[in-house]
Chain A
Amino acid sequence: MKHFILDGCEIAFDEGDTLMTAARKAGVHIPHLCWHPELGESGACRICTVKADGRLVAACTTRAAPAMMVQNRTEELDDKRRLLLQMLFVEGNHFCPSCEKSGDCLLQAEAYEVGMTGPHFEEFYPKRPLDASHPDVLIDFDRCILCKLCVRASNEVDGKGVFALGGHGIGTHLLINSPTGKLGDSEFAADDFAASVCPVGAILPKRCGFSVPIGDRRFDLNTLDDLAHAVGEQSAHADKQANDSSDD
């Protein structure tokens, strides 16, 4: 099996693996927001920026190559990640204390992970109306970070194309495919895959707020590294089982 070097450790990879997918299988966390193991590549958030053979690249769109030297959690890279996260925080309206996603939010978790303690930049305070038209799900555009995970999930998995991007530059925004542009008039359903992929609190199910108390949530109880490690062990276990069964 081929290997590349990630922060001094050998990481095995299969042909076609990106640095991100290979690291995930190996149980190593590369900070990210717009990447999802079940969806196509994007490269939009740039939080996964790593240094591969001296060049800054997005780990989620860069193919692993044998003997590639990759830096992930260096001070230099985490400094860049912190600024990128701060950009996302000031671009939207993110008030963690009042957000139902707090403790379960990847944006918040990655921000803690790289030591972000404040917004650093001035807040943009955009005015974005909330869409509560759907009976089971609400969309709070204030928290949308334009990762396009819902767009891709609805296209690639649900086959509904409920979401798309509109506008350009700082005016880029999420569009909903319905005659009125409202979620309630779209084909969206609460059990769509797209309803579950939002890394932040932009797409939220109704009537189950705070059912898990703050403090007991995913990222309250586990570090991102622990979670990645668990995924790595699962993947190694699955590989072992596959090998065992092929031996039979």
Chain B
Amino acid sequence: MPYDVLTAKYELHWIFLQSFVALGISLFKLVYTKLNGMRSLEIANEQELVESVIRRYGNQRHALVQILREVQEHTHWLYPDVLRQIADAVGLTLAIVNGVASFYHFFYLQPVGRYHFLWSDNVTDRMLGNRKLAGELCRQLGIVPGKSESGAPASLDFTSCTGLADQGPAVLVNQHRILTRMDEQRVDKVAELVRAQIPLHDWPQQWQLVDDQIHRTDVLLSSAPIRGQSLRETLARTNQATLAQIDASKLRGRGGAGFSTATKWRACLEAACPPDASRVVVCNADEGEPGTFKDRVLLTRQPDTVFEGMTIAAQVLGASQGLVYLRGEYRYLLDELLSVLERRRMDHLLGENILGVGGFNFDIDIHVGAGAYVCGEESALIESLEGKRGTPRIRPPFPVERGYLDLPTVVNNVETFCAVARIAEHGAEWWSSIGTTQSSGTKIHSVSGDCARPGIYEYPFGVTIQQVLDDCGANSTNNRTQAVQVGGPSGLCLAAHEFQRCLAFEDVPSAGAFMIFNDTRDMFSIAHGFAQFFAFESCGFCTPCRVGTELVVRRMDKLAAGHGSLFDESELHELEALMHGTTHCGLGATATNSLRDTLTHFRPAYERRLQAPGFTPGFDLDAELEAARRVTGRDDADAHLT
């Protein structure tokens, strides 16, 4: 071929190539600018959105937890620019905002997927196979628990009990949708829906059904919700008479500690209150104790009764501000609760001049938590209400003296407020005639674990453990009941010889959890699960709880891995003894209760793992030599320790 023809041909190719590249570049530029424009538009929109949330909370720093939560509902995670914007707007340092955001489990400082699954990880969920199911979902979606990238379609992690122990395994999706009774079929379908990017509100409704499962009712659950009757009764008598009535009813707080409600209210009344402010009524709906779900059912079935109880407290205490601390796991109840509050305002049961009484002004706001068990402790709860890290305060002063924003504050449990409203309706004598001398009235128990009919059981105080077991069908199954964990991991673990004991403050007190374990269950694994829970939920403030809960988990991990020795058992006893008494709050003090009880009652479960008499290291000595064997190319008997 002649040279010039060749050249011309190459030139032609070259020109063609050049124009192709140029076209490519301009196309790329176009798409890039467009995408970039969209992103900056998105950022501008997000900035505006964040601003509107902050403005709605009046730029108040004590609303920080609410601001972070609401912002994250839109932005999916709290990236540095958002935190900076919030810090500037509420007048806090970036470090403080970071400190608060990183305290709560439900705030994400790393990206999460568009569908974020939080699998409830209570021992009851584990007994129902949550770990295997979550693993299968991960496999199908190609994700790893706890890991995610920006813009990833899905991510998955585990969380403490979501208050659905009677219908697990349970999953929270994007923190505001709940999936109950997960099984293999549901996992397959969930994976399909995620792959097809079906919006959450189009997911099958029957998966999201939360059943109340009430199997035994008594005075609290059998009557219709109270919508003003008790408040009218209260307004017809003096506040002193109401307080005397609560006193005479011998009502004690239902949150676990069993403190006299009347004594608490009286202490709050006696505390000095600034003249331009009023006392505060707080409802503790941070039902974080694993295995407890009775407050969820009360808030679903009897929200009016709860609010009525709070309003009665407000009348007695002269409070104008009420707050419900709703745990983040119950976010899906929020809209319904807000509509009940709105209806009560329309009915003049809240707001100004309640029921036409001049000057009786009281309203209730709902603060949604962000995943922190420790916030169930009343002073940590108040810190959280004030937008801070949920670290328990030094007491005294107690919240009744200096609580929310330093005002005298009464914090009572959901069930306590229900009881208050019932007592105002039927009288102290009626209430104190139910139950035992030292524990008046009824108690609602959340029954879960190995039984035929898990769910809600309301009994007068004094019922035996055995009675509850019989009623929920724990013995109708083939297996004998081995143990019952009463009051959650911070409560008591009872063995069969104790089943004649009574559920009452004077014998076996309970905050409402009743988890049943039959004789196929490994009680060491149960206690191991509870130890992991406490280490996960420790606020990290004091040495014995922060390090102690971690050391307990490491010891139990060692036992679980088959490296246990009697030395480790004595170490566990030592840690247990130390943590009772030296911690800053009750979380640390009760964190080893189930360890103590299972070591006492179910020692064979530990003995199986305590073969060696002396010290056994926490690692496999022979396995540690593997690298050396590889390098030297040896695998003969002398290259091994055993």
Range, interface on chain B: 35 or more
Q: Determine, out of A43-51, A97-105, A132-140, A231-239, the stretch whose residues face the partner at the interface.
A: A43-51
Closest to B96 in A: A164
Contact across chains for A163 and B95 when beta carbons are under 8 A apart? yes
Contact across chains for A87 and B542 when beta carbons are under 8 A apart? no
User: In the complex, A63→B397 CA distance in Å?
Assistant: 11
Proximity string of chain B (528-550) to chain A, C-beta cutoff 8 Å, 1 when within and 0 when not: 00000001111111111011111
Contact across chains for B98 and A166 when beta carbons are under 8 A apart? yes
Q: Determine, out of B8-16, B186-194, B577-585, the stretch whose residues face the partner at the interface.
A: B577-585
- Chain B neighbourhood of A212, CB < 8 A: none
The B67-110 residues at the A interface (CB cut-off 8 A) are 84, 93-96, 98-99, 102-105
Is A69 an interface residue, CB under 8 A from the partner? Answer: no
* Nearest Cβ on chain A to B554's Cβ, whole angstroms: 7
* Nearest Cβ on chain B to A74's Cβ, whole angstroms: 14
Q: Determine, out of A110-118, A171-179, A194-202, A203-211, the stretch whose residues face the partner at the interface.
A: A171-179
Closest to B535 in A: A169
* Nearest Cβ on chain A to B424's Cβ, whole angstroms: 37
Is A73 an interface residue, CB under 8 A from the partner? Answer: no
Contact across chains for A170 and B550 when beta carbons are under 8 A apart? yes
Contact across chains for A84 and B543 when beta carbons are under 8 A apart? yes
Proximity string of chain A (170-193) to chain B, C-beta cutoff 8 Å, 1 when within and 0 when not: 111001111101000000000000
- Chain B neighbourhood of A164, CB < 8 A: 93, 95-96, 98-99
- Chain B neighbourhood of A168, CB < 8 A: 102-105, 372, 389, 538-540
Contact across chains for A165 and B584 when beta carbons are under 8 A apart? no
Contact across chains for A91 and B542 when beta carbons are under 8 A apart? no
* Nearest Cβ on chain A to B618's Cβ, whole angstroms: 6
Contact across chains for B547 and A46 when beta carbons are under 8 A apart? no
Contact across chains for A169 and B582 when beta carbons are under 8 A apart? no
Contact across chains for A46 and B542 when beta carbons are under 8 A apart? yes
Is B574 an interface residue, CB under 8 A from the partner? Answer: yes
Is B5 an interface residue, CB under 8 A from the partner? Answer: no
Query: Number of contacts between A and B (CB, 8 Å)?
Result: 113
- Chain B neighbourhood of A170, CB < 8 A: 535, 538, 540, 546-547, 549-550
* Nearest Cβ on chain B to A153's Cβ, whole angstroms: 15
Proximity string of chain A (33-66) to chain B, C-beta cutoff 8 Å, 1 when within and 0 when not: 0000000010111110100000010100101000
User: In the complex, A165→B391 CA distance in Å?
Assistant: 11
* Nearest Cβ on chain B to A145's Cβ, whole angstroms: 8
Q: A44-B584, A56-B582, A169-B549 are in contact. Are A84 and B544 (CB under 8 A)?
A: yes
Contact across chains for B547 and A88 when beta carbons are under 8 A apart? yes
- Chain B neighbourhood of A88, CB < 8 A: 543, 547
Q: A56-B582, A121-B551, A170-B547 are in contact. Are A161 and B535 (CB under 8 A)?
A: no
Q: Which of B94, B536, B554, B584 contacts A122 (CB 8 A)?
A: B554
- Chain A neighbourhood of B549, CB < 8 A: 169-170
Contact across chains for A84 and B538 when beta carbons are under 8 A apart? no
* Nearest Cβ on chain B to A33's Cβ, whole angstroms: 9
Contact across chains for B95 and A84 when beta carbons are under 8 A apart? no
Is A146 an interface residue, CB under 8 A from the partner? Answer: yes
Closest to A85 in B: B543
* Nearest Cβ on chain A to B369's Cβ, whole angstroms: 14
- Chain B neighbourhood of A181, CB < 8 A: 95
User: In the complex, A225→B624 CA distance in Å?
Assistant: 46
Contact across chains for B95 and A169 when beta carbons are under 8 A apart? no
- Chain B neighbourhood of A121, CB < 8 A: 551
Closest to B97 in A: A164
Q: Which of A44, A87, A166 contacts B103 (CB 8 A)?
A: A166
User: In the complex, A83→B538 CA distance in Å?
Assistant: 19
- Chain B neighbourhood of A145, CB < 8 A: 543
Closest to B550 in A: A170
Closest to B534 in A: A169
Contact across chains for B582 and A41 when beta carbons are under 8 A apart? no
Q: Which of B98, B537, B541, B550 contacts A44 (CB 8 A)?
A: B541
Q: Which of A46, A87, A91, A166 contacts B584 (CB 8 A)?
A: A46
Q: A46-B582, A161-B95 are in contact. Are A167 and B102 (CB under 8 A)?
A: yes
Q: A43-B584, A122-B554, A163-B95 are in contact. Are A172 and B540 (CB under 8 A)?
A: yes
Contact across chains for A80 and B539 when beta carbons are under 8 A apart? no
User: In the complex, A122→B544 CA distance in Å?
Assistant: 15
User: In the complex, A90→B547 CA distance in Å?
Assistant: 9
Q: Which of A44, A61, A83, A175 contacts B99 (CB 8 A)?
A: A175
- Chain A neighbourhood of B583, CB < 8 A: 46
User: In the complex, A124→B535 CA distance in Å?
Assistant: 15
Proximity string of chain B (543-577) to chain A, C-beta cutoff 8 Å, 1 when within and 0 when not: 11011111100100000000000000000001000
- Chain A neighbourhood of B554, CB < 8 A: 122
- Chain A neighbourhood of B578, CB < 8 A: 80, 83-84
Is B6 an interface residue, CB under 8 A from the partner? Answer: no
User: In the complex, A172→B535 CA distance in Å?
Assistant: 12
User: In the complex, A224→B602 CA distance in Å?
Assistant: 45
User: In the complex, A194→B415 CA distance in Å?
Assistant: 46
- Chain B neighbourhood of A46, CB < 8 A: 542-544, 582-584
Contact across chains for B582 and A80 when beta carbons are under 8 A apart? yes
Q: A121-B551, A122-B554, A164-B98 are in contact. Are A87 and B544 (CB under 8 A)?
A: yes
* Nearest Cβ on chain A to B86's Cβ, whole angstroms: 14
Q: List 6 A-B contacts (CB under 8 A).
A: A46-B544, A87-B548, A91-B546, A166-B99, A168-B389, A169-B537
**Residues of chain A at the chain B interface (Cβ within 8 Å):** 41, 43-47, 49, 56, 58, 61, 63, 80, 83-84, 87-88, 90-91, 121-122, 124, 145-146, 161-172, 175-179, 181
9 smallest beta-carbon distances between A and B, as pairs: A172-B540, A177-B95, A56-B581, A87-B547, A164-B95, A164-B99, A169-B538, A166-B102, A170-B550
